[in-house]
Structure 1
């Protein structure tokens, strides 16, 4: 029951060891830190092929993943997908096919709660789902395949998207082990999309997908010095994603640059009949011509940015982070933004309290309903309900480390019985807190975005289904990264992208992990 019939474990991966960092023809081209645009240009000039790109990343995974644990498994068909992309590109250059999409031939990792109908598993990091068969590609994966992206494998995560236990460390799963921050081994990699962030930060893949219910894209992006976009709920399909709650779940890109994240976002947004209600409602937010048009280096001009000092800016005066943000405020202002400082969000303490806000109450009931529905749609699975997952964990307590980490969130969720009076009251409370708090603040002050250094802003955005972007902002004690967060109202991605891209281009804070600067052996 703990084995799979169709996966290739990373421990069995055998690859040639001689791959050069520099692949050149007429000019040198470095794969490490290369953006999607760089790669497409290299394809055009025949400086690299998709096959060489996949081989490079597979080599990086073989070399680094035993330590970093950012990848759970690789796609055994990745090289054949790369060959297909190379043939299509050659036909395009010869005029036999139309122009190719931005992600064509680009390897991407999927968080291991995003289904792919191929030889890869979809397990949310748990042995309970190992060997299960999904009925189809997740909606976002179908769109990625249409864009010509190469599915390189599955990224690790905090097991069950960090909704199994309140005691589980960020980045740990039974299948993946303990994910490690590539900048400092003892630093928190954050969760739950930890592997997606670790892998792109460490150059084990070009771009990746993560999911967020509350903080799971924004936090690992911040802690691993990469860019994460948490889209408005419904902008990207959740069909085929192991769920927590459709009210807050969203799928988004985690990449090294804002531009890369935007290219991925453009590929995955839009209507999906398998997530019809949410994606149809969000269609009105998608701009004609997509999001890449908002990659504007002058995008801060005329923007109004709000700053809520309490509780988000709680670090001590004179600290590295405090000084960094004062410098960032000056940059934002110098680039044309108006900063509206010392604002307050009504009832912010209640909003940030997982219990008093109603978030915990609602999510427990929603999780049980959503997970049971997901499991019943599987073609085959070792488990068909939350109750059976709990029983599986109890039976296989050693590999699932139940004694050490428990499954208290699962047990609380299993006690629920649908959306009753208590849950409806919790949902009402969150709507009221959102209306009187974040929405009122944004509208009354005519803000384009709220700026924050603290991952706590993710909860403000989560309970209202709002979008946010995290961009590298600096490196603190022992070189541990931190990010800057820009959050806005539903559908405000165009403004957020302009702001985030202009900030990134003005500061260019991101640097690769130190060990990544050494040549591969």
Structure 2
């Protein structure tokens, strides 16, 4: 157990340290409700941090949502936020005093490791904050620590359980512990679902925000690639990777999105191109309760809505479609994306070949920029794993993708062919379907459209939609073309407010 988590167990035993937080209802607290409590003198940022630290200490031994914490740094930052609130007569920043957990592949200056769950990366230190961390701090956020994930963002090799890493252990779905927490941002979604932090940050290559958000009944925004900086983030693919919020409400996710978007010279090409999509006045203006009215939504029946007749999912989505129609949405049903069988096959589409080459390039560049690190290349990491076979469970899981990636030599003819194939699949697929049908968004269940949206760097918002007969959550996904976040926010927020599906997990099985 990392020292910071041992500290929290002692804190749990010692009890709460802040009387100002005693009456505050932590469960399902939102950014707005926290700020109202701050303004009313009912809560301080320090008191809030202490509440979250105690909750993490209580729940994390069972759920494995958090890898590492910086309690001293978080409490110091909270004290600064409280002092600023007392002395300032001007408006406070939008995330003032709000605790945040970062996925463990996002670097932050200070004592926290960013290890992607790998023991090989322990002791690495960045020269400074990741681009999104700089923006979070500027917006007033308080960094609590790092959330668990699938080791190497689920790109070490096939067959490794989702949410497992040697540093974090096996993340658990808080609704049904035997169910998958799904994909690599699992810790961020588990922590958000169980109120371990007001805000968590995830990253996605192909499904890693959408899928854990769906299975843990939280809201995930996968932004257009380049809208948020990847500088200081360990990624797999510059073409597909994006950083986004995972929270309990659409409103909170939009608050965070607005804070973290923008140009970053360290990720210049992608963020410069995507900056054109950032609306004047920000994203919160699109939290419109009537946002579904007159929106044209394309329902991708074939290959997506395959639920048996009479199943919970079939009934729930039918009800949701009726609600959206009554609100004023125009549903364009029975749409089909050409070549979905190819898009969903990473080898056929060319996605796998490109990811293998891009991962090596991206990782080696990230490692070269670190101030200190025990490893400096993908080759070093492969060697480390071979020397630490028991801790890394090499006999069970291997490291096939890492080895295949190491064998690549940059973006050559094979990778360029893959890029051309992916571009063609995008233009003849989602882009043509949306343009031909004049759609504002496509609609799919859960994360089923993850590859469709990943290969072109398109955005999506997942919102809780229901709970299966066994209690496992599922979501609805609204996706669109690049830069369509304003429309997707209107649609997602309006749907959320009309249905109000989300409920917190019971957690009796999770408390020590």
Within 5 Å, give how 1:39-438 maps onto structure 2: 39-75=34-70, 76-92=72-88, 95=89, 98-438=90-430
- Spell out, residue by residue over 1:474-501, the C-alpha distance to the aligned partner (whole angstroms, 9 max, x if none): 0003211000000000000000000000
In structure 2, what is the equivalent of residue 443 of structure 1?
435
The answer as to whether partners of 1:22 and 1:29 remain within 8 angstroms in 2 is no
Tell me the number of residue pairs that the alignment of Structure 1 and Structure 2 aligns: 509
* TM-score w.r.t. length of structure 2: 0.97
Aligned to 2:77, what secondary structure does the other structure show? helix
- Spell out, residue by residue over 1:166-187, the C-alpha distance to the aligned partner (whole angstroms, 9 max, x if none): 1210000010000000001101
The answer as to whether partners of 2:20 and 2:44 remain within 8 angstroms in 1 is no
In the aligned structure 1, how far is the partner of 2:478 from the partner of 2:174?
Answer: 24
Shift of 1:454: 4.1
Supply the RMSD in Å over aligned alpha carbons.
1.7
In structure 2, what is the equivalent of residue 484 of structure 1?
476
Shift of 1:12: 4.0
In structure 2, what is the equivalent of residue 463 of structure 1?
455
In the aligned structure 2, how far is the partner of 1:276 from the partner of 1:400?
Answer: 35
In the aligned structure 2, how far is the partner of 1:51 from the partner of 1:16?
Answer: 16
Q: 1:491 to 1:22 in 2, by over 3 A?
A: farther
Q: Which runs of 4+ in 1 moved over 2 A?
A: 11-14, 16-25, 515-518
In the aligned structure 2, how far is the partner of 1:20 from the partner of 1:313?
Answer: 50
Please tell me whether residue 513 in structure 1 is matched to residue 505 in structure 2.
yes
The answer as to whether partners of 1:312 and 1:454 remain within 8 angstroms in 2 is no
- Spell out, residue by residue over 1:106-160, the C-alpha distance to the aligned partner (whole angstroms, 9 max, x if none): 0000000000001111111101110011111000000000011000100000011
In the aligned structure 2, how far is the partner of 1:467 from the partner of 1:388?
Answer: 34
In the aligned structure 1, how far is the partner of 2:316 from the partner of 2:440?
Answer: 22
In the aligned structure 1, how far is the partner of 2:340 from the partner of 2:172?
Answer: 32
Q: 1:481 to 1:22 in 2, by over 3 A?
A: farther
The answer as to whether partners of 1:183 and 1:224 remain within 8 angstroms in 2 is yes
In the aligned structure 2, how far is the partner of 1:172 from the partner of 1:360?
Answer: 21
In structure 1, what is the equivalent of residue 25 of structure 2?
30
Q: 1:346 to 1:380 in 2, by over 3 A?
A: same
In the aligned structure 2, how far is the partner of 1:203 from the partner of 1:482?
Answer: 19
Shift of 1:21: 12
Aligned to 1:478, what secondary structure does the other structure show? coil
Worse-matched range after superposition: 309-318 or 232-241 = 309-318
Shift of 1:370: 0.9
* TM-score w.r.t. length of structure 1: 0.95
Please tell me whether residue 15 in structure 1 is matched to residue 15 in structure 2.
no
Q: 1:56 to 1:398 in 2, by over 3 A?
A: same
Aligned to 1:270, what secondary structure does the other structure show? coil
Worse-matched range after superposition: 384-393 or 7-16 = 7-16
In the aligned structure 2, how far is the partner of 1:356 from the partner of 1:21?
Answer: 57
The answer as to whether partners of 2:12 and 2:58 remain within 8 angstroms in 1 is no
Q: 1:124 to 1:24 in 2, by over 3 A?
A: closer
Worse-matched range after superposition: 15-24 or 494-503 = 15-24
Aligned to 2:431, what secondary structure does the other structure show? helix
Shift of 1:397: 1.0
Aligned to 2:317, what secondary structure does the other structure show? helix
In the aligned structure 2, how far is the partner of 1:53 from the partner of 1:9?
Answer: 18
In the aligned structure 2, how far is the partner of 1:12 from the partner of 1:127?
Answer: 21
In the aligned structure 2, how far is the partner of 1:517 from the partner of 1:302?
Answer: 44
